[in-house]
Structure 1
Amino acid sequence: MPTALITGATSGIGAAFARRLAADAYSLVLVARDELRLARAADQLKLRYGVAVEVLPADLATEQGLERVESRLRDGVDLLVNNAGFGHPGHFPDVPVADEVRMLKVHCEAVLRLTLAALPGMRERDRGAVINVSSVAGFFTRGTYSASKAWVINFSESAASDVGNPRIRIMALCPGFVRTEFHQRALMDTSGIPGFMWLKADNVVRAAMRDLALGRRVSIPDFRYKAVVAIGRLIPRGLQSRVSGRIGR
């Protein structure tokens, strides 16, 4: 039975990955900060799908938390989903530097280190996959969040190329607006976002797993956001920045 480790596994896209992979008969390792919520999620998945579920409480913004997850990954997993992430309630440069650094640690350092921890076992077994959850925001300019997600896209494509093994796949997943707790936690006003632009987390995961199977290095779920990214690439960066500044939050 294959094993998948998912960070940020108790809500939103992470929880959707847990449901999908449990349905596909993966054993799960769930990583999140809230130990009680992790235990509830594990119990529900075991009851519904009959799979083995391990919980690993860890704060990926801390050295101790990162080391705990790195250690578990070195024991071997077949799929790593780097999903943990968050947004700021403020705008650069008004966000405290400690909060900015915390974001970079979770979005960038954790993705780098956990991928590196998982790869030796995958290379030894000559198979495996890593899905790094980025965002459509990574194709645009909008503060530290967009910058960190752009790094995830670039890193994923570069790492997939450098590994050079088609049996070990590394992919950046770049969804748009998804119905999760993300925006509420970041105190973002989403009232101005049209209803048709929202995606369901389960649909995002379905698209991600399809694109991973196809060997794609970047997955943009849904034709609407594929069009957004394509159009954005044609817009001058200065204009793009002004537009994203108006609608980004």
Structure 2
Amino acid sequence: MFSEPRSGRLAAWGNALLAGKVSPDDAALAIVGDDTVHRVAGLPGEAAPVGLTLALGRLRALGVSGFRVALPAPGHPLGLSGPPEFNARALEAGEAVVGFGAPHGLVPEVREAGPTGDVHTEVVWHCLAVRQAPPADVPSLGEAERELAEALWDATAALTRLDIAGAGPAAEAAIDAYRARAEVLGSGEEVLAPGYPPRAVRVLELARRVGLLVSVAQAAEGRSVAGAVSASELAARSAVLRPVERVARRARVAAYNAVVEEKERG
């Protein structure tokens, strides 16, 4: 099911901290979210992993003045700028944070332990060298907003073509989750950290909606695989969903990176 990337939380609240909009403790609390603990390993000058508050302060001292997000997928190095080692680790994780102003990036490693119903999630962010270069395939906020408007139409049409009513409990649960999440998004929930421009907030909210719609369609499609849907029909559905999901990912990266893009322009 669709969920927000941990790299998005770290970049957004890290940028708010660097801008003096939030305290270090508030930033760390927001980044950890529902996880048990976050630590950062491999920081220059630190022999062992350290907590988020210390890590964010150390990165600022090292010259990092902003954080970007990368959400790469196979064949699509979205938000990455190299070198190959960092890109490979980020692709394996499906996400990363790229420092702006100094060549340091963070890739999360998620570890879970404990019995069902009492799982503890620990995240270790590995600090690695990054190349200070323009990130790959990240659109402007204006471009992302235009692409999303078209993608939302495509995703809705794809859902309409799927037999949601007969797709089973998995798809129905996905629909219920989408509706609940959409209500939360429409209730004024803070979708980005303080200091982000209103357009970035709007783009991220719309990207979330598109991503949720895609996840609903994928849940229904997965159920259809077990039924009598033809291979050509499944291929047609996938052909519709793939570019929609790509647009949503690009827009999310553009929204999270908006603060750094403003710094570059300013």
TM-score by length of 2: 0.29
**In terms of Rg, which structure is larger?**
2
Greater RCO (Cα-Cα under 8 Å, separation 6 or more): 2
TM-score by length of 1: 0.31
